Amino acid sequence: MSGPTDSGGAAPQRRTLWQAIVDDHGPGRLVLWIPLVFMVVFFLIPLALTLVWSVFERTMFWMEPGFTLAAYQDFFGSGRIDSFLGSVKSAAVTVGVAFVLGFPIAVFVRRSVPAHAQHQAVLLFILPFMISEVIRLFALRPVLGRNGIVNDLLMSIGVVDEPVSALLFTPTSVVIGEVLSFLPFMVFCGFLAMEAVPDYVFELCDDIGSGLAVTLRRVIIPLAAPGIVAAAIFIFVNSLGLFLVPDLLGGPGAANAGTLVVNAIAALDFPLAMAIAAIMVAMMVVLLLIGHWLFDLTKLLEPFR
Amino acid sequence: MSHDYESRWVYRAKWTYLLSVVGVLMLPVLYTLWISFNANGFGAAEYDFTVFWYVELFNNAEIRTSLGWTVLIAAIVVAVTAPMGVLAAKFYQGTQFKVPFVFLMLSPLFVPADVTAAALLVYFKNLNGLVDGLIGVELFDLSLWTAVAGQITWCLPYAFVVILVTMGRFRPEQTEAARTCGADAWQAFWQVEFPQIRPGVFSAGAFVTILSFNEYVRTNFLKGGFDTFPTYLVSYMLNTGMTPEVYAMAGLVSLVSMAAIGLVLVVALRRRIV
């Protein structure tokens, strides 16, 4: 292609046209708007419209404009709200477990691992995260099942005499599936938040001899709060929607918000699906706004400025 | 050991914990991989190594077709998303409204896949009816392109962040110098900045490939009348249960992902960009 990159040989007219396009005031600068426009058209508007569609009238196979709260009545007045609240509980437990298991790793990497190896240590967590969620979730069935690897292990070291069946098709297995899916995010976000904290802060804590508990509570957690909050919201909202988990791990009758949406679509009840979607989006927006208001989540982006 | 006050054993114990957490996260994947090479399938008393189940996969025409669709979609998604990631990062650097822009770009990560997919499905159905009524063309009928659009909303945030991180290491003085020397904005970008952020664009492309290759929920909602490998795998699994073929399909996906990540890490480590 004869662009401006090759210095000779390009047809002069073409260069002029090209130069007019890439000129500081030319139309070329408009391409920078493409990602923004794309996200508005294919993400922001569809999600905002869920609120509108959720009050439409349901027809046999589709929906038509109107105003009715039938979908919301259907959601709040049926067993769906119980399933939803059950999945809220699992998601909250998942956030707690992910924090307890994952955040110490972020602290350890930031404080104790040599500077040049920190990113590589965190990158280890990319590996499980990048493998298909579908695979990781359904792989849990042979792992957690009655004759799976965990029970084999527990029996061979003599912890239990017979297989533990509570590991699969229970709320516990749902939490296990969610934690295994989202734990890396606590490590990433926690580390990202602490990366902006200079080393001398940690050294100072050691120098003045503050204990681990005090350092954690008064220094590390406040400094890492934006990362923890971002990870917590991410894990909470995504746990509510994690597809296949109730089907694969949850046992009979298990459902979360994602399953409810999918089932509503499968039943061609589009207003109901849109109502649940609108509730989820509203929840996400409120949580993010509260998180941002309390902890200024943009601190996470300091390294990119 | 950078930490003066910590004993060597505590340090080692912490590394052991970190590695064992990664191990536990990987355990289900490696376990299914191990089973997938067993001629006798899951739960058998004897283990006979075989690639028989994998050969079976490739003898199945439906699976070959679904792999073709997966590769095609991934190729289109990468070709669109990697340049868009660069544009988004450039836009972020130039805009005054950094916070709203970042919230918009990253918000797809904070909405569950089912919700985005359902909203997009209804959106495309409405849009299709609207456009069909106006010009008589079913432009937004569920197809390859709706699936691609759905996947891009999911992949773009990752590409954006990866490229932004790499761009953060580029010194803008170099662009100013190039401009002072008479380069136009495009030349300054393409000849000075791009060669330096190329590893980031490459990593972003690799991540997007993996994300697209593994994407299930959005694709399942938005695809036309075809199957990608993940949608075929899930429907097969839900219909037939955990057969040896399912293990082999899962193993194939894991192997492809691991190979891709391995490639990225090797390149990244050799170029010292992580």
Task: Give me the residue from B88, B115, B234 closest to A281, CB to CB.
Answer: B115
Q: What is the model's pTM?
A: 0.88
Q: Residue A210: its chain B contacts at CB < 8 A?
A: none
pLDDT the model gives residue A305: 56
Q: Which of B14, B20, B24, B25 to probe by mutation at the A interface, max A CB count within 10 Å?
A: B25
Task: Give me the residue from A109, A274, A303 closest to B168, CB to CB.
Answer: A303
pLDDT the model gives residue B232: 92
* Closest CA of chain A from B131, distance in Å: 15
CB contact under 8 Å between B261 and A126, yes or no, is yes
Closest residue on chain A to B13 (Cα): A108
Any chain B CB within 8 A of the CB of A84? Answer: no
Q: Which of A56, A130, A201, A296 to probe by mutation at the B interface, max B CB count within 10 Å?
A: A130
pLDDT the model gives residue B2: 45
Collect the ranges in chain A with pLDDT lower than 70: 1-15, 302-305
- The mean predicted confidence, pLDDT, of chain A is 84
Q: Residue B24: its chain A contacts at CB < 8 A?
A: 180
* Closest CA of chain B from A66, distance in Å: 15
pLDDT in tens, A164-209: 877 788 888 889 889 998 999 999 999 988 887 888 888 888 788 7
Reduce the secondary structure of chain B to three states and give it as a string.
Answer: CCCCCCCHHHHHHHHHHHHHHHHHHHHHHHHHHHHHCECCCCCCCCCCECCHHHHHHHHCHHHHHHHHHHHHHHHHHHHHHHHHHHHHHHHHHHCCCHHHHHHHHHHHHHCCHHHHHHHHHHHHHHHHHHHHHHHCCCCCCCCHHHHHHHHHHHHHHHHHHHHHHHHHCCCHHHHHHHHHCCCCHHHHHHHHHHHHHHHHHHHHHHHHHHHHHHCCHHHHHHCCCCCCHHHHHHHHHHHHCCCHHHHHHHHHHHHHHHHHHHHHHHHHHHCCCC
pLDDT by position in tens, chain B (length 274): 445 556 888 888 889 999 999 998 888 888 888 888 887 777 666 777 888 888 888 888 889 999 999 999 999 999 999 999 999 999 998 888 888 898 899 999 999 999 999 999 999 999 998 888 888 888 888 889 999 999 999 999 999 998 988 888 888 888 889 888 888 888 888 988 999 888 889 889 988 999 999 899 999 999 988 999 999 998 888 888 788 888 898 889 889 888 888 887 787 777 665 5
